[in-house]
Each structure stands twice: as C-alpha cells, then as structure tokens.
Amino acid sequence: MARRSLEDIMAGEADLDVEKLAATTDEDIRGYKAQDGFADMPSGPARPVLAPVEVRARLGLTQEAFARALQIPVATLRNWEQNRKLPDPAARSLLNAVAREPEAVLRALGSPVAASAKRLSR
C-alpha cells in the first residue's frame, strides 16, 4: 500500500472529472447502480441522518449511559462521535430508530433509561 503524507495529498490535484460529473444523467446513475448490484435499491429523496452525538444529546445521556442503552462498547460510540469510524448500516438503522422512537426502541432493548426517553423530533 502506498503511503503519502498529508502535505502531498493537499498539494496534489483532485482526482475528479468535473465535466464528466456534471454530464452524468439519472439514466447513467441507474446504469451504475445496476453494474454494482444495486438496481433493486429504491431511489428517492435522501433522508437526513442524525449524528450519533445528536441522538445522544437529545436524550440527555452520557456516552457511557447511551452506549449501555444501545448495548455497544463505549469506545465504539466514541469512535462514531469523533468521526474516526462510521456506524455500519445496522448501527445506522438502530440510531435512526432510536431517534424516531427512543422510548419504544430502548424499552425493546431492555434499557433502564427507556422510561425517561422522550420522542425526538423528526
């Protein structure tokens, strides 16, 4: 694996064909999705995704309490919150569910904070 310093990366030019990007059509995108095996994946308006730190803050929980409620290591939550790692698709689904229906999801997980969880705004 080639290693480059941050200075080399910042000094280099972007590897992006702006003209090709601007000329890309919806039909092109559908074709790329089919090539990548995602042809059946529905397209539509993007849904906003709350950052883990926002979900936790809205619940008023510490990192330790939120990690315990989600049954994940606190180090994992810290990595998400500090953008060292992204939550995988299953974790994003869990975070979205907690953001929409915190009391129900936390109760289903058997979390002691479920009773005090308030519904978050969508």
3-class SS of residue 8: helix
pLDDT score recorded for residue 2: 73
Dmax (CA) of the chain: 54
Supply 30's token pair.
Answer: 């559908």
pLDDT at site 116? 65
pTM above 0.75, yes or no: no
52 to 43, 45, 82, 117: CA distances (angstroms): 24, 21, 10, 15
- One-letter amino acid at 95 equals L
Distance CA 104, CA 118 (A): 10
Residue type, 15: D
Q: For residue 102, give the nearest of 72, 66, 74 by alpha carbon.
A: 66
Class of domain 52-116: mainly alpha
pLDDT score for 49: 75
Structure-block tokens of residue 114: 């479920």
Of 73, 70, 98, 69, which is closest to residue 85 (Cα–Cα)? 73
E strand or H helix that includes residue 119: none
Provide the pLDDT confidence category of residue 1 given band limits of 50, 70 and 90. low
**Residue pLDDT, tens place only, 2-44:** 787 888 778 877 778 889 989 999 899 889 889 998 888 777 7
